[in-house]
């Protein structure tokens, strides 16, 4: 092992960069690259580093910053909007998955009760970071299933807080009811106190501090570390303090600014946590654990989505939304690894169990990444077999409109909103199809014919009566979905006018080759519109002032109905 700490860290970062670049090509989360780096730099391969005090401190800082940012992004309004489905699916997933996982571990493989309980709990947690990142890449965060996924992830994160508190309360050995009750009461008092502080004291303090960006970031780091120290002092873990520090700042208007500034710091330190996990994997136990790891991974791949689909189906959702939300649960999370690592640190578990669960994490994260990325294609293959997960009768996420329409408009956000106003003036009977439940609810309030649906759903396209439709407009920039819609519509009605949307010139040309009558390219249209205004107004200040007033009025109207530019996941 290399003695120089500087050389150790330098070589670790260099190897992590090479491995991460390779994983990036394979479209895999960088977490996997960090764990593989840990295996490479550990005693089994290059033996560059061990778990020194400095790497342990770096790992703890990484966990603290990771959970702090998770807390910053927890939005209780999501649970409020989706209430029942978020709570039922979030808690139901935890109960059924942990119970089945416990039985498989305890009865099937003969693990002792404590280890089986830990394994069962880790199988219930789905990765907030991975799911939100992949849904963001697919532009599916605003879909109904995306919102449901956000809701149940928040519920699971809250459950994880109590699991961490429970582990902390029994850290000294066996379970003592009086110690547990005392610890939980202390936690509740601290939590209530933090809620009061976050509501009444933090906003004016942070508002004053936020005048300086550097001071705001320094205060946020201090707040995160202060609560971590506080909760650690009271017998809890630093993880709970860091998570709650983020939650207390989540309602402030500066939360995203804080998150974006701290993210690079988090990324650096969290590398050490996952590298240590990888370096602690003991491959001499590989033959003993490989079969259980594969069985548990299969359960996470298949069992978790099935449990979720049953729960959503029982609530009255369509099989498509049940499947799309369910498939996001097919991996264990960074929380799972943190819980197991905490179990090792307090003496409940041995390091081979940490390596075993890490192995499950690697397998499930690798597999679920592709499952989520290609969920639409997987659904198309399995759709006809998923009917058993639908409850008969009216569906919560299905708004049927019968009758004939001249025009069908797919997508009614920003661009669609403008087109709908024009279509209304032209007196054409228009049906709006959108996958955002908030947009559909708003349209229904204004008695505009609308239907919840996804352009990627082949069953939706087949159900629409396209024979007498004169025009289809798709404002959704999903190239493959637009191609499929174009082909399906032209097969059923050769005279139909097709207007689609594209982000790239090559995509637009391909859509034209497939028969599109016009392709909207928003990036070019914006410049063309600005050029038209310049040509028309020239340097007339009065005309620009009049245009400004109209534009502000329109922007205010759009903001009132919830239209904003999409946010980038951080």
Q: In which band, very low, low, confident or very high, does the pLDDT at 566 lie, cut at 50, 70 and 90?
A: very low
CB atoms closer than 10 angstroms to residue 75: 15
Distance CA 335, CA 122 (A): 8
**Is the pLDDT score of 570 beyond 50?**
no
Residue 407: DSSP 8-state: E
- How far from 189 is each of 165, 182, 452, CA to CA, in Å? 13, 11, 44
**Is the pLDDT score of 90 beyond 80?**
yes
For residues 58-68, average pLDDT: 79
How high is the pLDDT of residue 119?
Answer: 93
Q: Report the candidate in 400, 355, 337, 331 with the shortest Cα–Cα distance to residue 131.
A: 331
Give 482-539 as a 3 state SS string. Answer: HHHHHHHHHHHCCCCEEEEECCCHHHHHHHHHCCCCEEECHHHHHHHHHHHHHHHHCC
**Poorest-confidence range of 458-472, 481-495, 501-515?**
458-472
Distance CA 67, CA 266 (A): 9
Residue 18, helix vs strand vs coil: helix
How high is the pLDDT of residue 77?
Answer: 58
Helices then strands (H, E): number in the chain? 25, 6
Q: Which residue has the tokens 């280890």?
A: 115
pLDDT tens figures, 326-380: 999 998 987 788 888 888 888 888 888 888 888 898 889 888 888 888 888 898 8
The alpha-helical segments, DSSP class H, found in 43-127 are: 53-72, 76-103, 113-124
Identify the residue with better confidence: 295 or 258. 295
High-pLDDT (> 90) share of the chain, %: 11
How high is the pLDDT of residue 565?
Answer: 43
Residue 432: DSSP 8-state: E
**Tokens, residue 3:** 């003695």
How high is the pLDDT of residue 394?
Answer: 62
pLDDT averaged over every residue in the chain: 80
How high is the pLDDT of residue 175?
Answer: 53
How high is the pLDDT of residue 128?
Answer: 75
In whole angstroms, how large is the CA radius of gyration of the chain? 26
Q: Which range, 39-43, 81-85, 382-386, is most confident? A: 382-386
**Tokens, residue 17:** 């960069």
Distance CA 363, CA 59 (A): 22
Those residues whose C-beta lies under 8 Å from the C-beta of residue 294, and which sit 6 or more positions away, are 363
- How far from 425 is each of 422, 428, 430, CA to CA, in Å? 5, 8, 11
Identify the residue with better confidence: 180 or 467. 467
For residues 96-118, average pLDDT: 92
**Tokens, residue 280:** 């602690």
For residues 566-570, average pLDDT: 34
- Which pairs from 164-167 meet CB under 8 Å and 24+ separation? 164/236, 164/237, 164/239, 164/240, 164/338, 164/339, 164/342, 165/236, 165/240, 167/237, 167/339, 167/342, 167/343, 167/346, 167/348
For residues 427-450, average pLDDT: 80
Distance CA 443, CA 333 (A): 37
Q: In which band, very low, low, confident or very high, does the pLDDT at 75 lie, cut at 50, 70 and 90?
A: low
Residue 316's H or E segment, with its range, is none
**Is the pLDDT score of 268 beyond 60?**
yes
Q: In which band, very low, low, confident or very high, does the pLDDT at 106 lie, cut at 50, 70 and 90?
A: very high
Residue 28, helix vs strand vs coil: coil
**Poorest-confidence range of 128-132, 229-233, 305-309, 380-384?**
128-132
Residue 45, helix vs strand vs coil: coil
Identify the residue with better confidence: 428 or 93. 93
Residue 311, helix vs strand vs coil: helix
Strand 497-501 relative to strand 518-520, pairing: parallel
Question: Cα 375–357–12 angle (5° rounding)?
Answer: 90
Residue 565: DSSP 8-state: P
Identify the residue with better confidence: 302 or 251. 302
For residues 144-159, average pLDDT: 81
Distance CA 325, CA 336 (A): 20
DSSP string, 446-495: TT--EEE--TT-HHHHHHS--TT--EEEE----HHHHHHHHHHHHHH-TT
Q: In which band, very low, low, confident or very high, does the pLDDT at 297 lie, cut at 50, 70 and 90?
A: very high
**Is the pLDDT score of 428 beyond 60?**
yes
Q: In which band, very low, low, confident or very high, does the pLDDT at 294 lie, cut at 50, 70 and 90?
A: very high
Distance CA 28, CA 305 (A): 20
Q: Which residue has the tokens 């498939």?
A: 327
Distance CA 147, CA 140 (A): 9
Residue 389: DSSP 8-state: G
For residues 390-419, average pLDDT: 74
- Whole-model pTM: value is 0.67
Q: In which band, very low, low, confident or very high, does the pLDDT at 104 lie, cut at 50, 70 and 90?
A: very high
**Tokens, residue 278:** 């990888």
Distance CA 473, CA 370 (A): 31
Inter-axis angle of helices 375-382 and 319-326, nearest 10: 130
**Tokens, residue 560:** 């009132």
How high is the pLDDT of residue 303?
Answer: 93
Residue 409's H or E segment, with its range, is strand 407-410
User: Which phi and psi angles does 110 have, rounded to 5°?
Assistant: 75, 20
High-pLDDT (> 70) share of the chain, %: 85
Residue 74, helix vs strand vs coil: coil
For residues 158-185, average pLDDT: 67
Question: Cα 111–117–120 angle (5° rounding)?
Answer: 95
**Is the pLDDT score of 451 beyond 50?**
yes
Is the CB of residue 292 less than 8 Å from the CB of residue 248?
Answer: no
Identify the residue with better confidence: 304 or 238. 304
Q: In which band, very low, low, confident or very high, does the pLDDT at 567 lie, cut at 50, 70 and 90?
A: very low
Identify the residue with better confidence: 353 or 447. 353
For residues 98-103, average pLDDT: 94
Is the CB of residue 135 less than 8 Å from the CB of residue 149?
Answer: yes
**Is the pLDDT score of 207 beyond 60?**
yes
Is the CB of residue 365 less than 8 Å from the CB of residue 356?
Answer: no
Residue ranges of domains in the chain, CATH in brackets: 5-388 (1.20.1530.20), 407-560 (3.40.50.720)
**Is the pLDDT score of 493 beyond 60?**
yes
Residue 396's H or E segment, with its range, is none
């Amino acid at each position: 092992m290399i003695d120089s700490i500087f050389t150790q860290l330098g070589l670790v970062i260099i190897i992590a960069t090479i491995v991460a670049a390779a994983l990036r090509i394979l479209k895999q989360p960088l977490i996997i690259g960090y764990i593989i780096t840990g295996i490479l730099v550990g005693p089994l391969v290059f033996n560059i580093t061990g778990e020194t005090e400095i790497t342990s401190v770096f790992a703890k800082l990484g966990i603290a910053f990771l959970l702090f940012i998770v807390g910053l992004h927890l939005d209780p309004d999501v649970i409020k909007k989706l209430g029942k489905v978020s709570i039922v699916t979030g808690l139901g997933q935890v109960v059924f998955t942990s119970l089945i996982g416990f039985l498989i571990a305890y009865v099937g493989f003969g693990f002792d009760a404590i280890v089986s309980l830990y394994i069962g709990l880790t199988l219930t947690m789905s990765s907030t970071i991975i799911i939100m990142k992949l849904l963001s890449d697919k532009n599916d965060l605003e879909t109904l299933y995306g919102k449901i996924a956000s809701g149940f992830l928040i519920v699971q994160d809250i459950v994880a807080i109590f699991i961490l508190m429970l582990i902390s309360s029994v850290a000294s050995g066996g379970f003592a009811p009086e110690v547990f009750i005392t610890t939980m009461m202390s936690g509740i008092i601290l939590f209530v106190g933090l809620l009061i502080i976050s509501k009444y004291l933090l906003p004016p303090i942070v508002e004053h501090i936020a005048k300086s960006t550097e001071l705001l970031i320094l205060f946020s780091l201090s707040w995160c570390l202060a609560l971590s120290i506080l909760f650690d002092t009271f017998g809890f873990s630093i993880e709970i303090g860091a998570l709650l520090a983020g939650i207390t700042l989540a309602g402030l208007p500066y939360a995203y600014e804080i998150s974006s500034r701290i993210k690079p710091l988090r990324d650096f330190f969290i590398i050490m946590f996952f590298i240590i996990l990888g370096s602690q994997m003991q491959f001499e136990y590989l033959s003993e654990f490989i079969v259980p790891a594969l069985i548990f991974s299969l359960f996470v791949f298949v069992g978790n989505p099935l449990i979720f689909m049953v729960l959503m189906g029982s609530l009255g959702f369509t099989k498509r939304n049940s499947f799309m939300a369910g498939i996001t649960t097919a991996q264990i999370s960074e929380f799972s690894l943190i819980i197991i690592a905490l179990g090792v640190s307090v003496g409940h578990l041995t390091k081979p169990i940490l390596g075993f669960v890490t192995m499950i994490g690697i397998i499930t994260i690798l597999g679920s990444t592709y499952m989520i990325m290609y969920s639409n294609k997987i659904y198309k293959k399995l759709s006809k077999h998923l009917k058993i997960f639908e409850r008969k009768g009216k569906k919560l996420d299905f708004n049927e409109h019968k009758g004939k329409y001249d025009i069908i408009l797919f997508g009614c956000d920003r661009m669609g909103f403008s087109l709908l106003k024009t279509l209304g003036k032209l007196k054409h009977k228009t049906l709006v199809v959108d996958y955002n439940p908030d947009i559909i609810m708003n349209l229904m309030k204004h008695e505009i014919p609308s239907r919840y649906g996804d352009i990627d759903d082949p069953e939706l396209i087949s159900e629409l009566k396209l024979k007498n439709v004169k025009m289809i407009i798709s404002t959704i920039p999903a190239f493959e979905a637009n191609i499929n819609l174009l082909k399906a519509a032209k097969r059923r009605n050769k005279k139909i006018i097709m207007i689609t949307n594209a982000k790239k010139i090559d995509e637009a040309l391909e859509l034209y080759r497939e028969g599109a009558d016009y392709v909207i390219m928003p990036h070019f249209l914006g410049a063309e519109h600005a050029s038209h205004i310049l040509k028309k107004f020239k340097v007339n200040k009065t005309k620009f002032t009049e245009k400004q007033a109209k534009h502000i009025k329109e922007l205010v109207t759009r903001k009132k109905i919830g239209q904003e530019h999409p946010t980038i996941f951080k």
